[in-house]
Amino acid sequence: MSGIYYFMLRRIMTDKNALVTFIGTLAVIALVSLLGPLSNELPDGTVTPPKFSGLTIPMHIIAVSIYSVMLVRSVPRS
């Protein structure tokens, strides 16, 4: 899905503007995705176990940062 979004951005913007817009959108989605681990309740209604957010928040941050670095390195510069 993100590849299609980036492809559409590159069709309507320059390469640099598309990359900046995509990375910004990626950061916003990453911040919104942190709301789930920070809640006091799991999706099935049970209470979150202790240290749950300590395990899940780094996973969200590391995945986004690796994806961003790989994208910046692989996008052609114009």
pTM above 0.85, yes or no: no
CA distance 53 to 45: 16
Predicted confidence (pLDDT) per residue in 9-57, tens digit: 999 998 889 989 999 999 999 999 888 888 888 888 889 888 888 888 8
pLDDT at 78: 62
CB atoms within 10 A of CB 18: 19
Domain ranges, ordered by start, for the chain: 2-74
Per-residue tokens: 39: 């809640």
**pLDDT exceeds cutoff 70 at 7:** yes
Question: What pLDDT score was predicted for residue 76?
Answer: 72
Considering only the C-alpha atoms of the chain, give the largest distance between any 2 of them, rounded to a whole number of Å.
Answer: 50
Q: Which of 72, 58, 57 lies closest to 26 in space, CA to CA? A: 72
User: Token pair of 13, please?
Assistant: 């913007």
Asked if 40 contacts 46 with a C-beta cutoff of 8 angstroms, the reply is: no
